[in-house]
Amino acid sequence: VRHSPVPVLVVHADDAPADLAARPAVRHLLVPLDGTPLAEAILPAAVTLAAAFAADLELLAVLPEDAAPHAPLTPAGGSAAAY
Mean pLDDT of the chain: 80
pLDDT in tens, 20-54: 788 778 899 999 988 888 888 999 999 999 999 89
Q: Between residues 74 and 67, which one has the greater pLDDT? A: 67
| 63 contacts 71 by C-beta, under 8 angstroms | yes
State how far the alpha carbon of 66 is from the alpha carbons of 8, 18, 29, 58, 62, in Å. Answer: 25, 43, 27, 24, 12
Residue 40: exposed, middle, or buried by beta-carbon count in 10 A (0-12, 13-18, 19+)?
A: buried
Which secondary-structure segment (H or E) carries 33? Answer: strand 28-33
